A and B are shown apart, each in its own frame.
Chain A
Amino acid sequence: MLQVDQLTTDDPKVSLQDISFQFDAGNIYTILGRTGAGKTELLRALMGLNPLVEGDIQLDGQSIAKRPVKDRSMSLVYQQFINYPHLSVLDNVAFPLRRQGKKKAEAQLLAAKMLTTVGLGDFLQRRPAQLSGGQQQRVALARAMVKKSRILMLDEPLANLDYKLREQLREEFPRLVAGNDDSVILYTTTEPREAMELGNTMIVMTDGRIVASGPPADLFAHPPTKDAASVISDPPISFISGFVRSGALYFGEGQLAPNNGLHLPPDGPVTIALRPDAIEPGGAFNATIGLSEFSGSETIVHLDFDFGRAIMLVEGIETFVAGTRLSVSIQTEHIMLFASDGQNITTRTK
């Protein structure tokens, strides 16, 4: 078990702010956040690569905050595919085992086994430069896993891969990390889909803080704060200012009566979050079509309303001409309401 208490750093880009969390062995924690949220800084602080201003890191009840990097039983896979260019693929993976004091033959045997697991059994004697990007990242992953360290950290490991390879490795990931039941796996990503797909627990970070954590499906359905909601949704949620008065929800020139079990808070200002699937073609609201783009088998349409810009997600590939007007409706079962302090105040009758 890895326990971090009030972790605070003073990093040049993003500083960690009072982070406390308990990571249990056998779980995969996906840390989701935009660029600059502090994900990498958190991993580096855990690893001992970035100094702590305050706080403690405990592994199985023992503080490791002052231990040197090499003695923390942690592995890190970087976003950039970092390997030792002067060593063969086999020796790259055997490298940490040799540092653990294993004999060369034993280290190479274990390394070869691990490389076979990650699908590189035929490339043992090649140099990293002779491999493709995906293969290089597999080498890095194999090197991180072969140590059997207690904490396996992966810092956006798929970010620099092309789409196809990313999908392929994402599918393979559970198989690759299987058998690490004694380890805590931390996986950072900027992609909500990846975070929800790969983790047992999702942690959402913004501005060096953890703003939400929990099972991915629960967090997606009910993000506790506006910050968390803005990070979790892809395509992004649109936020518009509105207010509640006399049992109706007003925004710009629009008005919505609560239905589908949505309960409105007492009269006052609210932030309305429109999920991309909350807007559907055909209805009482008029918007001008901005950009439209395809994502897989869906169409993402950017709409300009009189109350602001919002994104609509349409199933299937459809053509929307920029600059033309479109009538849409807003489905209240897909909207959320946030108080002025950013807390989610959406309540529904089941």
Chain B
Amino acid sequence: MNKFYHILKTLFLFGWSLFVVFPFLWALTTSFKDANAITSGATYIPWVDYEPSTQGWTSLFTTGSQGINIVGPFIDSAAVTLIASLVSLALGTLAAYGLSRFEYRLGFVKNADITFFFISQRIMPPIVLAIPFFLMLKELGALDTIFGLVLVYVALLLPIAVWVMTDFFAGIPKELDEMAMTDGCSPIGAFFRVILPNSVPGLVVAGMFCLIFGWNDFFFAFTLTFTETQLLPVSIVSLNSSVTPWWSLSAFALISVAPLACVAVIVERYMSRGTMSGAIR
């Protein structure tokens, strides 16, 4: 029975892995094909099934009719996502610490209501926010700028950071803060010297969520930019003309996924480490 279960489990995991990895393999093989190889049916093995071509990749770094230069959009995307994520993480972490450690009350509004207010920002469909954001950025003269996008993305990512970090801080015993204060820290000193160093897994998770949501956003990148600033998701879509260059599209997709995959691999060990063990028994 155990052996049967083990085989079943292995088969399931193998099948699921294939399901997850297959799109990437598909994109990888497609990125090395040309128009002929694309239209000649499903082929997978280079030099055997088809003759590989680097056209898909080179076109991403070529300007003019032969391609689309993605360096600009890549830098814009990286700048907007990184700045917005860092700002959201910094503000969100401070807000979450306050919500987890102090009691706020304004009439019937308490801590849980404030936390829900943050989260509720993500409940609304993006289209509801598009026009207000558009008008506000227009008033600020920040339409089609990195600054404008950062502002909007901070508003979108802050709830995620607050949500994740509030939950994380709730798991850190308050006695640890108190201990730090009895050992000579001010409340803010206790936060920076003791709580924050022990919050790395939470910060990593919140940071990853911010990076993923920021990096992958298409809607606001599309509605709030025109020509001066262009982010990767919008650039990818702009490739889709009357004749879709699937080879370039695939290479572009792989390039846009790569940064997040690299970050995930680097920070994975921090996410799984239980740093609070040993704090309190």
Number of A-B contacts (CB under 8 A): 75
Question: Closest Cβ of chain B: how far from A83's Cβ, in Å?
Answer: 6
Does B114 belong to the interface (CB within 8 Å)? no
Q: State the Cβ distance, A106 to closest chain B Cβ, in Å.
A: 15
Count A interface residues, CB 8 Å.
Answer: 30
Contact: B277 with A99, CB < 8 Å?
no
Give, as a whole number of angstroms, the nearest-CB distance from A79 to chain B: 9
Q: Which of A66-74, A244-252, A338-346 contacts B (4 or more CB under 8 A)?
A: A66-74
Q: How far is the CB of A103 from chain B (nearest CB, A)?
A: 15
Q: Are A76 and B182 neighbours in the complex by a CB distance under 8 Å?
A: yes
Are A69 and B281 in touch, CB under 8 angstroms? Answer: no
CA distance A76 to B179 in the complex (A): 8
What separation, in Å, do the CA atoms of A88 and B180 have in the docked complex?
A: 15
B66 close to chain A: CB less than 8 A: no
- Cβ-defined contact, A70 with B175, below 8 A: no
CB of A85 closer than 8 Å to a CB of B? yes
Residue numbers in A under 8 Å from B280 (CB-CB): 78, 80-82
Whether A255 is near chain B, meaning CB under 8 Å from some CB there, is no
User: Do B279 and A70 touch (CB < 8 A)?
Assistant: no
> Are B182's CB and A70's CB within 8 A?
yes
Residues of A within 8 A of B178 (CB): 47, 49, 69, 76
Write the A128-148 contact mask toward B (1 if CB under 8 angstroms, else 0): 111101001000000100010
Q: Quick check: A80 and B181 within 8 Å, CB to CB?
A: no
Complex Cα distance, B190 from A95, in Å, reads 11
Q: Does A160 contact B (CB under 8 A)?
A: yes
Cβ contacts under 8 Å, A127 to chain B: 278
Cα A49 to Cα B176 with chains together (Å): 12
Interface residues of B in 157-209 (CB under 8 A from A): 173, 175-176, 178-186, 189, 194, 197-198
Q: How many residues of B contact A (CB 8 A)?
A: 23
Determine if A96 is an interface residue (Cβ-Cβ < 8 Å): yes
Report if B244 contacts A (CB, 8 A). no
Closest to B186 in A: A70
Considering only CB atoms, which chain B residue lies closest to A130 in the complex? B278
By beta carbon, the residue of chain B nearest A96 is B183
User: B54 in the interface, Cβ–Cβ < 8 Å?
Assistant: no
Question: Contacts A70-B184, A96-B184, A129-B278: A82 and B198 contacting too (C-beta < 8 A)?
Answer: no
Interface string of A232-270 (1 = CB under 8 A from B): 000000000000000000000000000000000000000
A312–B183 alpha-carbon span in the complex (Å): 47
A78 pairs with B185, CB closer than 8 A: no
In the bound complex, how far is the Cα of B197 from the Cα of A100, in angstroms? 20
Cβ 8 A contact of B176, one of A70, A84, A96: A84
Closest 8 CB pairs of A and B: A99-B184, A129-B278, A128-B278, A96-B183, A85-B278, A69-B181, A85-B279, A129-B277
Cross-chain pairs A/B with CB under 8 angstroms, 14 sampled = A47-B178, A69-B178, A69-B182, A70-B183, A70-B185, A76-B179, A83-B278, A84-B179, A96-B183, A99-B183, A100-B184, A127-B278, A143-B183, A147-B183
Given A81-B281, A82-B173, A82-B279, 15 other A-B contacts at CB below 8 A?
A: A49-B181, A75-B182, A78-B179, A80-B280, A82-B175, A83-B278, A84-B179, A84-B180, A85-B275, A85-B279, A86-B198, A99-B184, A99-B189, A133-B281, A147-B184
| A contact residues vs B (CB 8 Å cutoff) | 47, 49, 68-70, 74-76, 78, 80-86, 95-96, 99-100, 127-131, 133, 136, 143, 147, 160
